[in-house]
Amino acid sequence: MTAIIRLITFDLDDTLWDARPALEAGEAAQRSYLSTRFPSLSLDIMSQETLSNVRQALLHEQPELVHKISLFRETFIKRLLQSQGVSDIESTIAASDAFAAFISHRHEVSLFADAKSVLTYLRQHYKIGALTNGNADVRKTEIGEHFDFAWRAEEFGVSKPHPAFFHAAFAQAGVTPEEVLHIGDCHHNDVDGAVAAGARAIWLKPEGGVSDIASEVIPSLSDLPSAIGRVVGSRGCTKQR
């Protein structure tokens, strides 16, 4: 018998909101801070080759940073400044301040239509969680109140699609993988990852798509409640909170 769904998890960036405006605003704030503090370095016109070399060297030395994107960003800025002759102490302080400028905009998200109404409806029937590889904390956004749980890859040191990330989150929520339905826009990270972890998944694909393993493929969040109803059958209206 198929397990009853008790927890619905969501990817965040490009699933519940358009990530681009917040990221672009954060990047602009970071650049502005660094160019103001270090005008002589001309960081804005630094070559992509230089940036890539610093990035690759850093990840070669500390590969674990690929799963800790906030720490990676701050460490990258520090290394970049050091490569331009900035002292260790000053580069450490400046990198922290530059990251603060970036993250101050990270939660000014542009929600997709129906995100609030869909979450409001679903939370009447299920526990709701966020599973993201990004560094946005859904609890700091305007939809934070709808979430019972929020997990970021950087807190676990492992990212989607690795099943370990899903399993660690499910264990904290006190559910088995069979009791979870995950929704996300990236087939590799969200669908492949959730299914490999033993959960079910719905693929949010605005332009349409075909999946052999997703339980449903939907074009918009407004289609989610009916899709969940089809996945869980008549038990879709059973309150599991």
CA distances to 9, 47, 83, 136, 146 from 142, rounded to whole Å, are 17, 37, 39, 12, 9
Asked if the structure places residue 207 within a domain, the reply is yes
Domain boundary among 42, 75, 103: 103
Asked if the structure places residue 206 within a domain, the reply is yes
Give the pLDDT confidence score for residue 239 in this predicted structure: 41
- State the average pLDDT over residues 151-170: 96
Is the pLDDT at 62 greater than 90? The verdict is: yes
Same domain, 125 and 52: no
- State the average pLDDT over residues 224-231: 95
Pairing, β 110-111 against β 17-18: antiparallel
Same domain, 63 and 139: no
Give the residue with greater pLDDT, 51 vs 222. 222
Helices (H) and strands (E) in the chain, counts: 9, 8
Buried b (16+ CB within 10 A) or exposed e, 103-132: bebbbebeebebbeebbeebbebbbbbbbb
Give the pLDDT confidence score for residue 33 in this predicted structure: 95
Asked if the structure places residue 61 within a domain, the reply is yes
Q: Cα–Cα distance between 124 and 122 in angstroms, integer?
A: 5
Same domain, 120 and 45: no
- State the average pLDDT over residues 28-52: 89
Same domain, 14 and 59: no
Residue 53, domain CATH:
1.20.120.1600
- Contact between 156 and 193 (Cβ < 8 Å): no
Give the pLDDT confidence score for residue 48 in this predicted structure: 85
Give the pLDDT confidence score for residue 89 in this predicted structure: 96
Give the pLDDT confidence score for residue 1 in this predicted structure: 44
Q: Cα–Cα distance between 133 and 125 in angstroms, integer?
A: 26
Can the peptide bond before residue 161 be classed as cis, meaning omega within 30 degrees of 0?
Answer: yes
Is the pLDDT at 240 greater than 50? The verdict is: no
At residue 233 the predicted structure's pLDDT band, cuts being 50, 70 and 90, is confident
Give the pLDDT confidence score for residue 238 in this predicted structure: 41
Same domain, 167 and 233: yes
Give the pLDDT confidence score for residue 38 in this predicted structure: 94
Residue 148, domain CATH:
3.40.50.1000
Asked if the structure places residue 1 within a domain, the reply is no
- Of the candidates 126, 131, 116, 124, the residue with the CA atom closest to the CA atom of residue 9: 131
- Contact between 92 and 49 (Cβ < 8 Å): no
Locus of tokens 């804005």: 44
CB atoms within 10 A of CB 237: 9
Mean of per-residue pLDDT scores for the chain: 93
Same domain, 92 and 126: no
- State the average pLDDT over residues 80-85: 92
Same domain, 143 and 229: yes
Same domain, 78 and 115: no
Which domain does 218 fall in, by range? 7-18+111-237
Asked if the structure places residue 2 within a domain, the reply is no
* Lowest mean pLDDT across 44-58, 104-118, 123-137, 190-204: 44-58
Asked if the structure places residue 148 within a domain, the reply is yes
> How many C-alpha atoms does 147 have within 13 Å on its Cβ side?
20
Same domain, 12 and 33: no
Same domain, 13 and 28: no
Number of domains the chain contains: 2
pTM value? 0.90
> How many C-alpha atoms does 76 have within 13 Å on its Cβ side?
20
Q: Which two tokens stand for residue 3?
A: 């397990």
Same domain, 134 and 225: yes
The pLDDT tens digits of the residues spanning 17-28 come to 999 999 999 999
Report the percent of the chain where pLDDT is more than 90: 87
Give the pLDDT confidence score for residue 109 in this predicted structure: 94
At residue 234 the predicted structure's pLDDT band, cuts being 50, 70 and 90, is very low
Same domain, 56 and 173: no
